[in-house]
């Protein structure tokens, strides 16, 4: 029962060096990074497209409710905006000036428009 099992001993020719060389490991890292980028990029582009479309629709509703003289609306994504990072809604006037209407946030949703009735105040 106390016999030694020679098959469990290490390989006498094993020199504990890495199996792959440095060039092959570097190439493998580059391939993995490209593969991960190829998996993540479509998701990022899809999220951007959905957020842009939602921001366009929400901004059009805000401009229609709050600026009757505007000719159109425009949205832009800004990282360092006054209200924090997110989509900014602008009303486009006839003379080329844009008026900031709302900060729509990172993922815009349907607007909650509050119309103030001047007769009640």
For residues 59 and 52, give the distance between their C-alpha atoms in angstroms, rounded to a whole number: 10
The pLDDT value recorded for residue 84 is 86
pLDDT, tens digit, 9 for 90 and up, residues 6-38: 777 777 777 677 677 889 999 999 999 999 999
Decide: pTM greater than 0.85. Answer: no
Residue 119 pLDDT greater than 70, yes or no: no
Question: Rounded distance, CA 33 to CA 91, Å?
Answer: 42
Q: Name the residue with tokens 């003379």.
A: 95
């Amino acid at each position: 029962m106390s016999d030694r099992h020679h098959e469990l001993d290490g390989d006498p020719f094993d020199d504990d060096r890495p199996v792959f060389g440095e060039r092959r490991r570097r190439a493998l890292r580059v391939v993995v990074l490209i593969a991960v980028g190829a998996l993540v990029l479509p998701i990022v582009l899809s999220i951007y497209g959905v957020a842009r479309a939602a921001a366009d629709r929400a901004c059009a509703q805000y401009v229609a409710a709050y600026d009757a003289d505007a000719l159109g609306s425009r949205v832009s994504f800004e990282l360092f905006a006054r209200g924090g990072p997110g989509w900014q809604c602008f009303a486009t006037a006839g003379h080329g000036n844009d008026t900031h209407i709302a900060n729509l946030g990172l993922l815009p949703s349907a607007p909650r428009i509050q119309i103030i009735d001047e007769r009640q105040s």
